[in-house]
Structure 1
């Protein structure tokens, strides 16, 4: 904390003539998209903390790989597979090319793998977004290295110095068939909000998982996948750093989700490169809604076993009409109060949360940062401008970080997030924006304080260089 505020105060509160001039220019161009884009393209942007690896790769290289590898394409759904299924309209890319049909399908693929040319009429935006992952995911297999380098190079070009990406689930073959009865038991206890009972059952399952070598799966993932990729590719350099979050999938049955969560926490606890843990998948899914509170208790339990592991949580990625009104009142609350999240991802339903002012004050007091994803929230939830709770978080002093979410699918970048921020929220000053950039390093889950310190110091130098470009007259 002391290091952070020393740098923040020197960078933000001790306004030099250069920064004052930058602020004047910023206010002058606030309503000019092109000028703002040029401004923010050059401005240092710190870190991207809400970042999904698979959703951040642009569709073009994935499609190119699928064509070169001659995958099968489902000409109805635009899914791809390496091996042809027994049913469905699956055609090799080489066959489509020989028929002269490849270009036609390329356009259709781009429209299903990303938001390219989306017309906001033919298909629900949230379904298009979440369904896209399964369609292109076979092209990701074996290409993690190329993808990481794509993300690194794009970040450096865009003056982003840190990415904390949700890279992959952890493969785990622990057989839990004999534990299947625990699913119903856990859900019954969760229905009655019997936290003590849930924790008692989780403790029994946890001990069983340890005996079945949960730690072995975590170590294999850390050593043979993450560390090997990171080191072989030389991801970190003087101008860029990357760390990784493990994640689990909300739609799984309780025992299997908990199994994966335990392995994810063990992995994060034992690797300097694994910064934390998260939970993903549509928050309004049937299982996600039914088991939400149970998932929060699972995180709380795992944290009791691994108290140094940090975790951000997708919470409140909901809006009126997507779920019943009463289901908008408790997701962020449970993520904060029950699970003990260190950061909240999205947090869009905050205005509907029960005792939202109290919750906002708690987040501010306890430095629980909010990850704001403007393009994502607009496309998936149709929430933007004054309907977005950004101003609420700002008013109550909740630490804010600006993120992209899934830049590849959404065909966006970090620059666009700041352009929208400046245009939509007129009370956001250049000093505010600069603080959000510093927040993106300070509230990162980087474990090595020396690495975090270096990133903050580098950020300060970058801002000095950036601000020196603006003449005093």
Structure 2
């Protein structure tokens, strides 16, 4: 009886602490500095929509380029380890000797990230073009980036990151399969799903014969597992898992080859949490082949039913594409591809039968990954133009993410500050639920690991909420 009374008192105390935190949040709702201090300390669970290369800040990448004396293209701000044949390229050491290094450092920072963005180029172009500009500084330095991200996560009370780390290297020769490009696109143009799936089956068998499993095993064992173990990424305060991803702009054969290997990798490794598809959704091939890509996911799911996948879908807005192209991407990602989560989902209000789609997402527990800073910078969608409230009204599970914190010059804390400030009807209890969603809807394969992260979150919130008992 004494134990029951003790537990009851503990439960009441926790409710009281949570209510006190709720009261304090309401008191500071319109003060950004106070909100920042509040959310900096609040446990934030996981960051599920996270691109590794876009999350590393530009400063260490630039420092590395200077230290290793890369070549810099003085017009585009691309860097290269070796001097390309065409273009105006100079080493960082020569720029230093000429007294021009400080000027170009500033140009690089403004081209590799949103720092001091002034609208001189379209924001979506700056964002998507930046990756190729700094990419040479990432290669061979994944370890430094992973440790930077872990350190930053620990500092702002983030306990889990599910990052898209790297494409899977593959030199498989598929020159003999290029006829499938036109065949697949022809069948897709006629919306002949049966014909597309039959062609994908033939293509899959050919790719398997070219030892696709070897590339997945090499990636899992000699890259993912090695880095993860050598760096001691997982500990009692932090956990990281990885999403494989494929590039939308590729022709069908190359994309499907990479997708097949990505699914094999995710199926065979507990560290690889799932699969994704990236690159600008409004790009030429992305738009032309979108339905075909969704069928590729459907096909791969039939081969690897245990592999989870989240899809960038609806990262579009009016004016970026034709109005009719806003009506079907999220629908197809869910109803054709069978996505387990949706990333961005900004065009949901324009989707055909959007209310039915939202109800379906809610009923089937298909979360939406909300990226407030990203959607504002890339798409110019924010506040009441952003569909956050629409998802919330229909009880779609919500997780809050950063997307590309390095390029966007943001972090997880700022995402929650924006959420609380822009949407005053979102209570502390609801925000806390979003935090738990980020663990419960993660793709972590090991149930014991997920359970421990939830337990750890319980303890973190207990400590956090106790701070407000005297306020």
TM-score category, normalised to shorter length: over 0.9
Deviations 1:392-422 (A, max 9, x none): 1000010000000000000000000000000
Q: 1:206 to 1:237 in 2, by over 3 A?
A: same
Written as runs of structure 1 = structure 2, the 5 A alignment for 1:250-269 is 250-269=248-267
Matches of 1:93 and 1:111, distance apart in 2: 17
Matches of 2:246 and 2:150, distance apart in 1: 24
Q: Which residue of 2 aligns with 1:6?
A: none
Contact map agreement 1:246 1:268 (CA 8 A) in 2: yes
Matches of 2:456 and 2:349, distance apart in 1: 37
Secondary structure of 2:85's aligned partner: coil
Q: Which residue of 2 aligns with 1:7?
A: none
Matches of 1:251 and 1:12, distance apart in 2: 53
Deviation at 1:15, TM superposition (A): 6.2
Contact map agreement 1:312 1:342 (CA 8 A) in 2: yes
Contact map agreement 1:93 1:102 (CA 8 A) in 2: yes
Deviations 1:347-375 (A, max 9, x none): 00000000000000000000000000000
Contact map agreement 2:46 2:439 (CA 8 A) in 1: yes
Contact map agreement 2:392 2:398 (CA 8 A) in 1: yes
Written as runs of structure 1 = structure 2, the 5 A alignment for 1:297-308 is 297-308=295-306
Q: 1:261 to 1:183 in 2, by over 3 A?
A: same
Q: Which residue of 2 aligns with 1:327?
A: 325
CA root-mean-square deviation = 1.3
Task: Give the number of equivalent residue pairs.
Answer: 463
Q: 1:228 aligns with which of 226, 233, 236?
A: 226
Q: Which residue of 2 aligns with 1:77?
A: 76
Contact map agreement 1:12 1:435 (CA 8 A) in 2: no
Deviation at 1:87, TM superposition (A): 1.3
Matches of 1:95 and 1:137, distance apart in 2: 22
Matches of 2:226 and 2:257, distance apart in 1: 24
Written as runs of structure 1 = structure 2, the 5 A alignment for 1:269-288 is 269-288=267-286
Deviation at 1:16, TM superposition (A): 1.3
- Verify: 1:246 aligned to 2:248, yes or no: no
Contact map agreement 1:78 1:135 (CA 8 A) in 2: yes
- Verify: 1:110 aligned to 2:112, yes or no: no
Contact map agreement 2:51 2:403 (CA 8 A) in 1: yes
Secondary structure of 2:424's aligned partner: coil
Matches of 2:14 and 2:457, distance apart in 1: 16
Matches of 2:253 and 2:216, distance apart in 1: 17
Q: 1:189 to 1:422 in 2, by over 3 A?
A: same
Deviation at 1:14, TM superposition (A): 9.5
Deviations 1:217-258 (A, max 9, x none): 000000000000000000000000000000000000001000
Matches of 1:69 and 1:61, distance apart in 2: 12
Deviation at 1:322, TM superposition (A): 0.1
Matches of 1:211 and 1:147, distance apart in 2: 36
Matches of 1:87 and 1:160, distance apart in 2: 44
Contact map agreement 1:161 1:241 (CA 8 A) in 2: yes
Deviation at 1:12, TM superposition (A): 11
Q: Which residue of 2 aligns with 1:317?
A: 315
- Verify: 1:166 aligned to 2:164, yes or no: yes
Matches of 1:13 and 1:467, distance apart in 2: 13
Matches of 1:14 and 1:252, distance apart in 2: 56
Deviation at 1:174, TM superposition (A): 1.2
Matches of 2:246 and 2:263, distance apart in 1: 10
Deviation at 1:17, TM superposition (A): 1.0
Secondary structure of 1:16's aligned partner: helix
Q: Which residue of 2 aligns with 1:186?
A: 184
Secondary structure of 1:165's aligned partner: strand
Matches of 1:16 and 1:337, distance apart in 2: 40
Matches of 1:311 and 1:287, distance apart in 2: 21
Deviates further, 432-441 or 11-20: 11-20
Deviation at 1:471, TM superposition (A): 2.5
Deviation at 1:44, TM superposition (A): 0.2
Q: Which residue of 2 aligns with 1:38?
A: 37
Contact map agreement 2:14 2:462 (CA 8 A) in 1: no
Matches of 2:341 and 2:70, distance apart in 1: 39
Contact map agreement 2:111 2:126 (CA 8 A) in 1: yes
Matches of 2:412 and 2:94, distance apart in 1: 38
TM-score by length of 1: 0.97
Q: Which residue of 2 aligns with 1:217?
A: 215
Runs (5+) with no aligned partner, structure 2: 1-9
Contact map agreement 1:18 1:472 (CA 8 A) in 2: no
Secondary structure of 2:21's aligned partner: helix
Contact map agreement 1:82 1:138 (CA 8 A) in 2: yes
- Verify: 1:91 aligned to 2:97, yes or no: no
Deviation at 1:119, TM superposition (A): 1.2
Q: 1:12 to 1:300 in 2, by over 3 A?
A: farther
Q: 1:342 aligns with which of 306, 331, 340?
A: 340
Contact map agreement 1:73 1:90 (CA 8 A) in 2: yes
Q: Which residue of 1 aligns with 2:351?
A: 353
Matches of 1:355 and 1:399, distance apart in 2: 19
